[in-house]
Each structure stands twice: as C-alpha cells, then as structure tokens.
Amino acid sequence: MKLIINNCLKNNQWLNLTNFIQVLFKQNCILCTSATKSKLGLCSDCLNELPYSPTSSCPQCGLSSNGLMCGSCLNSPPDFDSTHAVLIYAFPIDAMMQRYKYSSMLHLSQMFGQLLAQRINLDNVDLIIPMPMHPARLKERGFNQALEIAKILTKNNKEKLDYRRSIRQKLTPPQASLQFKERVKNIKGAFQVNRDLTGKRVAIVDDVMTTGASLNELAKTLKKAGASHVECWVVARTLPLK
C-alpha cells in the first residue's frame, strides 16, 4: 500500500485522483483505489495499516505511557480531564488531513468522524463543542474542519452539538508556526463561552492535537463557565519530538 501511495504523493495528485474515482464508482478505497464496501471509504488493508494511537496512552493527555497518568500530567495537570485520540498524526493521516483542510476535501470528514466515533462514548458527555474558528479564518477556509467532524459524531444526537455559543474572539497566527510557550501565550483569552455550563460534561472535538495549548485554553474557558468535566476528542495526536 505504501508504495502505491508514495508514488501518488510524488506527483501530488493521489487524493484528487482517488476522489475523482470515488465519486465515479463510489466503492473505491480513498488510499489505494481498490474496491471496498466499507462505509469508511477505506479497504480493510488500508484501514488495518493506519497509525492507530496506542491504547496504553496517558488517559489525561493522550501521550504514550503505560496507561497510567504521565509525569507531565501529574506535575502540571491540564485543564481538560481526558483525551481520546484515534490516530497518530503520521503518514498517511498527515497528508490526508492537510488535504482535508487546505484542499477542501470535505468528504474526508465522514471517514475521520466515523473513525473517531469508534473511540468515544457519546453517553459520557452532555455537550459536544467543536474547536471554534475565528470568523476571519472561517471566511478564508470556507468551513470549520472540527465542526464537520462533530456533525458526523452527533448525526443521531443533534441536540448534543453546540457550535454557536463558544467563539474564538482572537485572531491568532497559525499555532503550527509557534513553539509551545509561544502557543500558550498566543492562545490566552482567545475563546469566549456565552452560556452557563454549570455541572455540564463537555467534549471538545478537534482534528489534530499538537501541544494541546488550544484545547487546554478552551477547556479552561469552559470550566470557568461551569463545566464539571471536559474531554478532548481528536482524530489525530502528534507525538512529541525526541
């Protein structure tokens, strides 16, 4: 599979091409184009080869550990209570995510949403809040990638989705271009929650968790608004650089 995808990536046309094929035939794997009946759009081989997050990760931050709380969370606990990540942000998810966000390949939200649905428990929370996007960014991109994934998760529980009352009031430079300390400083005060969340259990949905600075700042804001418990539900988690 890797050989096929690498060849396709080399000419930078694989997803455009496979998207076209998928639209035409509806039953082809997004990655290798072989026939599949899976609703995820991936054949069983490609599905099995995805870089899944280890199940033994730290329950609070989602980074690799023996399944117990990691040292970092013990020393300096984040504002969110748990993290559920389906995948590691590595090949081919990184390439797919880039195309999802920057080439408007919205159909990939189906696959990301369905994969995430397998790792989370909707009954565990009262509300699901997608990571808000600043209006200027939304205008630029045309859609909020976290909201599209959250819509898939809440397809049969629409009353749990709340994407209007948590807003991003500060336009910040893309977090990817910043170091951890800068990210924390940069994102401070970025969110506003316009509802009382007293006693509510909330899940924040996002596409990728890198340092967790944005998720942490939003979790802090949600807790200030009264939330009793905040979970991070993310499609992919980056691993720290060694």
* CB closer to Zn ion, 17 vs 171: 17
Tokens 């280890």, located at residue:
54
* CB closer to Zn ion, 41 vs 130: 41
3 CB burial (10 A radius; 0-12, 13-18, 19+): exposed
172 CB burial (10 A radius; 0-12, 13-18, 19+): middle
Eight-state DSSP code of residue 141: H
43 CB burial (10 A radius; 0-12, 13-18, 19+): buried
| Alpha-carbon 53 to chain mean position | 13
Which pair of tokens denotes residue 211? Answer: 């340092």
Phi, psi of 166 (to 5 degrees): -115, 125
Beta bridge partners of 206: 234
**Residues binding Zn ion: number (CB under 5 A):** 10
Q: According to CB under 5 A, which residues from 110 to 139 bind Zn ion?
A: none
Which pair of tokens denotes residue 39? Answer: 């609703």
| Alpha-carbon 89 to chain mean position | 10
Q: Is 95 in the site for Zn ion (CB under 5 A)?
A: no
Q: Is 60 in the site for Zn ion (CB under 5 A)?
A: yes
Among 5, 15, 40, 43, binds Zn ion (CB under 5 A): 43
Q: Is 73 in the site for Zn ion (CB under 5 A)?
A: yes
* CB closer to Zn ion, 77 vs 135: 77
Shortest distance (Å) from residue 85 CB to Zn ion: 12
Among 61, 85, 203, 205, binds Zn ion (CB under 5 A): 61
Among 70, 90, 105, 138, binds Zn ion (CB under 5 A): 70
Site string for Zn ion, 4-33 (x = CB under 5 A): -------------------------x-xx-
165: helix, strand or coil: coil
Q: Is 40 in the site for Zn ion (CB under 5 A)?
A: no
Q: Are 43 and 57 in contact (CB under 8 A)?
A: no
Shortest distance (Å) from residue 29 CB to Zn ion: 3
Shortest distance (Å) from residue 135 CB to Zn ion: 33
- Within the chain, strands assigned E span 82-88, 127-130, 166-168, 191-193, 201-209, 229-237
Shortest distance (Å) from residue 133 CB to Zn ion: 26
* CB closer to Zn ion, 70 vs 95: 70
Q: Is 46 in the site for Zn ion (CB under 5 A)?
A: yes
* CB closer to Zn ion, 193 vs 219: 219
* CB closer to Zn ion, 78 vs 130: 78
> Which residues here bind Zn ion, judged by CB under 5 A?
29, 31-32, 43, 46, 58, 60-61, 70, 73
